[in-house]
């Protein structure tokens, strides 16, 4: 598995590339985690993009390749020991990193590929992209946060339909269900994603990151705890250079020029 990494000014581009429809393996998951952690600490990164090489975004985790590489059955508890540092670290990190993450999906987004699209702040997909949770069809239970993310986004009935009945969704259907930001014709996908990334890269990055944190923690807190977090976020964002620029631009009746500081 290869992960292509490109820094384009304020944009960090991560692109999956493997012969099994960009399926993830242990090395690629570790690489994604490393780059996302670094992006969260790099003041120059204002947006992260996730995409796939070729016709598909990500077909899930490469279980076949893992089993072939090992050649023998792992000892009991291997999954339980491994997941917290791999898939179960990656998905929370996409949610928690305080820069916006944009996912660009064409073709298949299955299993953990689907979860990456769900966890991203904005996912733009081709209308004919295919979103699928393959777990029960293969005889095992969901991982990578599928049973946590889906009920919160589309409710329990539709989550059951996706996870237990294995319904596949097109990109158009995923957008209609509210699972992704937008679905567009395939030939418009790159242009649509680029416009979104440009908007985010010129936004008030500190405030964007703190707002992302408020959105992703708010559903698990009572109102008073959430309001305390709001006060904390407002205190931090109002001390940023971008706040000063936004206030000046409002006073001077001009568009703001945010620097992400």
Within the chain, where are the H helices? 26-41, 63-70, 78-82, 87-96, 112-119, 146-154, 156-163, 171-177, 189-201, 205-218, 223-237, 241-252
Residue span of the structural domain in which 113 resides: 2-201
pLDDT tens by residue, the chain, 261 residues: 589 999 999 999 999 999 889 999 989 999 999 999 999 999 999 999 999 999 999 999 886 655 555 566 767 656 666 766 678 899 999 999 999 999 999 999 999 999 999 999 999 999 999 999 999 888 888 989 999 999 999 999 999 999 999 999 999 999 999 999 999 999 999 999 999 999 999 999 999 999 999 999 988 899 999 999 999 999 999 999 999 988 898 898 889 999 889
What confidence score (pLDDT) does residue 140 get? 86
What confidence score (pLDDT) does residue 85 get? 65
Is 55 a domain residue? yes
Provide the token pair at 248.
């000046």
Is residue 184 located within the same domain as residue 209?
no
CATH, residue 86: 3.90.226.10
Provide the token pair at 195.
């416009």
Q: What are φ and ψ of residue 127, in 5° steps?
A: -60, -30
What confidence score (pLDDT) does residue 245 get? 87
Is 258 a domain residue? no
Is residue 150 located within the same domain as residue 217?
no
Is 95 a domain residue? yes
CATH, residue 239: 1.10.12
């Amino acid at each position: 598995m290869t992960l292509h990494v490109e820094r384009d000014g304020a944009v960090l581009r991560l692109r999956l590339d493997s012969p099994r429809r960009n399926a993830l393996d242990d090395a690629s998951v570790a690489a994604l985690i490393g780059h996302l952690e670094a992006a969260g600490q790099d003041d120059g990164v204002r947006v992260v993009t996730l995409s796939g090489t070729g016709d598909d975004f990500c077909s899930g985790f490469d279980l076949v390749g893992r089993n072939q590489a090992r050649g023998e059955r792992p000892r009991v508890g291997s999954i339980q020991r491994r997941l917290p540092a791999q898939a179960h670290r990656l998905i929370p990190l996409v949610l928690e990193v305080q820069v916006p993450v944009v996912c660009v999906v064409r073709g298949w987004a299955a299993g953990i590929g689907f979860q990456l699209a769900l966890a991203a702040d904005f996912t733009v997909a081709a209308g004919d992209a295919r979103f699928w949770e393959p777990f029960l069809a293969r005889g095992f239970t969901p991982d990578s946060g599928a049973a946590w993310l889906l009920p919160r986004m589309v409710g329990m009935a539709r989550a059951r339909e996706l996870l237990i009945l294995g319904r596949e969704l097109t990109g158009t259907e995923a957008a209609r269900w509210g699972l992704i930001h937008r679905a567009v014709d395939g030939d418009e996908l790159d242009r649509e994603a680029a416009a979104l990334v440009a908007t985010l890269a010129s936004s008030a990055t500190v405030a964007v990151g703190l707002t992302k944190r408020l959105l992703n923690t708010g559903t698990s807190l009572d109102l008073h705890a959430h309001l305390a977090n709001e006060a904390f976020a407002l205190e931090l964002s109002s001390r940023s250079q971008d706040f000063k620029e936004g206030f000046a631009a409002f006073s001077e009746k001009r568009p703001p020029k945010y620097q992400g500081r």
